[in-house]
Amino acid sequence: MDEEFWQARWRENRTGFHEDRPHEMLLGHFDRLGLSAGDAVFVPLCGKSVDLDWLLDRGLRVTGVEFSRQAVEEVFARLALTPQIRDAGNTICFSAGALQIFVGDFFDLTGSMLRRTDAVYDRAALVALPGHARPGYASRLADLTGAARQLLISLDYDQSQMDGPPFSVPEREIRDLYENGFDVELLSRREIAGPLAQRCDGNEEAWLLDPRSASITA
Ligand SMILES: C[S@@+](CC[C@H](N)C(=O)[O-])C[C@H]1O[C@@H](n2cnc3c(N)ncnc32)[C@H](O)[C@@H]1O
């Protein structure tokens, strides 16, 4: 999936992944991230998700990254925030108050561009990437965020039922990607619902990725 694939999806309004309400698994499992007001959460491949608004409402500082400038402009407009816009490496950083979103490629972010991160919220980011890109994404994400705790929402279905994205990332792959640095816990699993259920059947899964060093010192 190159950048043009996603830019075309946004231009042509083919954004069936966008949901109008905060994701139920975020609401159900947010507490497991152990965050308090003022903490910072990173939302990779954030689209124009209303989960951003919900996290801001919890008093968190929120950082996202997204290819589509149109999506990012919609987020700031929805929140009635006027962003400051500045160049940041190969990306453009939109920021206002507790929200900042980099318009550009996740893989162009560097650690010095991100503020200290207390947690990562990945909904439909890992599963948006083809298999060959997922190991690089997982290790880059851990590097960028100091191996912060993650709430990961993924999909597991028979990949022969449809082409991704979203791709199926079964439990074995999740464990292979993350178990070297994190304790990996399945929090919940439910049948795929909504428009995606017309294209495949399988499960949506919520995972807690808890950094090993934190577990040892806790
Ligand atoms: C499946 S959508 C999920 C969006 C959002 N997380 C949500 O829950 O609505 C994936 C998003 O990632 C963006 N994207 C894909 N690859 C990216 C990359 N390498 N860097 C930045 N954004 C990317 C796409 O433009 C798209 O908006």
Q: How many CB atoms lie within 10 A of CB 138?
A: 24
The secondary structure of residue 2, as a DSSP letter, is -
For residue 11, pLDDT over 70 is answered with: yes
Whether residue 218 has pLDDT greater than 70 = no
> For residue 115, what pLDDT is reported?
81
Does 128 contact ligand 1 (Cβ within 6 A)?
A: yes
Query: Residue holding tokens 């950094």?
Result: 211
Domains and CATH numbers, the chain: 3-7+23-217 (3.40.50.150)
Q: What percent of the chain has pLDDT over 90?
A: 94
**pLDDT of 214:** 52
pLDDT (tens digit per residue) in 12-21: 999 989 999 9
Query: Does residue 150 register a pLDDT over 90?
Result: yes
**107-126 average pLDDT score:** 95
How many Cβ atoms from other residues are within 10 Å of residue 209's Cβ?
25
Measured from the Cα of 68, ligand 1's closest atom is 25
The Å distance, Cα 218 to ligand 1 centre, comes to 33
Average pLDDT value for residue range 200-214: 92
Q: Which among 198, 179, 103 is positioned nearest to 135, based on CA atoms?
A: 179
Distance 123 CA to ligand 1 centre (A): 9
State the average pLDDT over residues 120-143.
Answer: 98
Among the ranges given (14-18, 25-29, 138-142, 212-216), the one the predictor scored with the smallest mean pLDDT: 212-216
Nearest CA residue ID for atom 4, ligand 1: 47
How many CA atoms, within 13 angstroms, populate the side-chain half-sphere of residue 131? 7
Q: What is the mean pLDDT of the chain?
A: 95
Cα(66) to ligand 1 centroid in Å equals 6
Q: Are the beta carbons of 39 and 63 closer than 8 angstroms?
A: no
